Structure formats: structure tokens, C-alpha cells
Amino acid sequence: MSQEIVFDSNLQSTKNLAWWLYLLHGASFLFSLGAFSWIPLIINYVKRDDAAGTFVYSHHGWQIRSFWWYLFWMALGVILFMTVIGIPLAWLVFTAAWVWKAYRLIKGFLYLNDNKPMPT
């Protein structure tokens, strides 16, 4: 006997929104290094409660945490870049932050597609 997942329209709607927010975060990340990611971030905060009690709720938290940690690492890179001695280390931080954010966006997108919650 196979298990079938039944979605109600509200769950599908919240899942679709999370899908679009992953795309907006990704587009901002690719085209502006995340400078415009604050737009989907605000939507994440506003719509997160609508997804309470579903696996989609964890995706909003995942995107929010990804934004703030990426901002932290980029700010650290900028501070290091302002010192002559820290310039090589700054590029390492920028690169690591970029790879980490790409990983988080891709992992979240794939988990959402598979109807799985994000780990906390």
C-alpha cells in the first residue's frame, strides 16, 4: 500500500510562496550579492505565521537565518577588507559566505520540493 500525501489549498499556497521566496533570495544573491534579499526577508517574516504547524514554517526560518548569517559573514569580510593585512582573509570569507549561502538556498529548495522540513 502506498502512502499518498494530500495537500489542502492553504498548504499548497504557503508552499508556493516559500518556493517563490527561495527564487527571490537566489536572484538577489546572484545578481546583487544579496543586496536586495531584504525584500523576500520581509515577506518571510510577515508570512511565516501563516505556515505555522506545517513543514513550510521551517523553510521560512531557514531563509531568515540564512539571510542574517550571510549578512554577518559579509560584514566581517568588509571589516577585514578595510585592513591591509586582512584583505586576503576577507576574500576567503567572501568566498566561503557565497558558497555557504548557495548551499543553503539549494538545500532548502530541494527539501521544499520533497515536502520535507528543514533541520533546526
In a domain, 16, yes or no: yes
For the chain, how many structural domains are there in total?
1
In a domain, 4, yes or no: no
- pLDDT tens track for 59-71: 999 999 999 999 9
With helix as H, strand as E and coil as C, how does 15-75 read?
HHHHHHHHHHHHHHHHHHCCCCCHHHHHHHHHHHHHHCCCHHHHHHHHHHHHHHHHHHHHH
* Span of 2-6, 32-36, 70-74 with lowest mean pLDDT: 2-6
- Tell me the residue range of the domain where 44 lies: 9-113
pTM over 0.85: yes
In a domain, 118, yes or no: no
- pLDDT tens track for 11-47: 999 999 999 999 999 999 888 888 899 999 999 999 9
Q: Give the pLDDT score at 35.
A: 84
In a domain, 1, yes or no: no
